Amino acid sequence: VLVRVMGITEEEQLLNFKGSFFFYVLLPPIIFEAGLSLETQMFVDNLGAIFTFAVLGTLVSTWVTSKGLRLAAELGVVGLDSSAPRLAI
């Protein structure tokens, strides 16, 4: 904030954070290092819990998103057809 108030453009350009730089340059080495430093035996021992949380988390997230979109359609927040037939799952 102080840099912007003082009008120092060079420092403002240095402090300007680019998300694409983070995702394409900084994040891949972090993920790679985390994978290399992972203890294989501990990972294999916890594989059941990892898959359980992955599957249940995906199902819960999908359910919450679909219910939220249905509610938003019924309230008229989004332009979805709320009278469309529901799939029986």
Structure-token match 């709320």, residue found = 82
**Cα separation of 3 and 87, whole Å?**
55
* Residue pLDDT, tens place only, 29-85: 999 999 899 899 999 999 999 999 999 999 999 999 999 988 888 888 887 665 667
Q: Is the pTM of this model over 0.75?
A: no
**Cα separation of 7 and 36, whole Å?**
44
Name the token pair of 66: 């679909």
CA distance readout (Å), 68 to 46, 55, 73: 32, 20, 9
pLDDT of 56: 98
